[in-house]
Structure 1
Amino acid sequence: MPCCHWCDSSLITKKHHTVYWELPDGTNAISIEETPSIYCSNCEMIYQEDEIVKEIEDQLFLIDTKKLAKQVTYQDLMNQPRLLKRNYFDFTS
């Protein structure tokens, strides 16, 4: 059974929250609404699973971030056209 990454409680639920992300070039930050997240009712921590973090970071690296609004939904972010097919600087795969 999954448990909280912070307090190991099993009282977690999947929800959607707004997160704030710095763009890869460091020039700006955006808010990403409706981001898949985990909420722990024990410690009240809200966080994103590693897979979601990687998806967001890869997408921000692969799109023209100058065309992004300061506020975007997670789905709209993931639907942005990519300039590259994949993150060629990610050597973890």
Structure 2
Amino acid sequence: MEMCPWCEKGKLASVKGTVYWELPDGSRAVEITETPSSHCENCDAFFQSDEIVKEIEDQLFLIDSKKLEKQTKYSELMNMKRLLKRNYFDF
């Protein structure tokens, strides 16, 4: 089991949680439920891996965010139709 990067004492549990993300254009924030996350039993930290953060940021950049509701499930967000196949601005 992985140790917490914040407190370096607690063990991490895989959980699904709610996160709030600002759209790339800065126009508003969205609530993303059931997001794969980690939770520390010791310090109570709740966070997402770098990979999940990148997936969310890329997807928000690649979809028509006007079609995005104020709240969405992570799986629904990740299955939304993309305007581009990938983030060509990610070098």
User: Structure 1: which 5+ residue stretches go unaligned?
Assistant: none
Gap regions ≥5 residues in structure 2: none
In structure 1, the residue matched to 2:66 is 66
Give TM-score, length-normalised by structure 2: 0.97
TM-score, normalization by structure 1: 0.94
Q: Which residue of 1 aligns with 2:34?
A: 34
Q: Which residue of 2 aligns with 1:87?
A: 87
How far is the alpha carbon of 1:10 from its aligned partner? 4.2
Q: What is the deviation of 1:9? A: 2.4
Letter of the 1:72 partner, please give it.
Answer: T
Q: Deviations over 1:18-71 (max 9, x none)?
A: 000000000000000000000001000000000000000000000000000000
Amino acid paired to 2:55: E
- Alpha-carbon shift at residue 8 of structure 1 (Å): 1.4
Moved over 6 A (4+): none
SS state of the match for residue 85, structure 2? coil
What is the CA distance between 1:2 and its match in structure 2?
1.8
The 3-state SS of whatever aligns with 1:77 is: helix
Q: State the partner residue of 2:49.
A: 49
Please provide the CA RMSD for this pair: 0.8
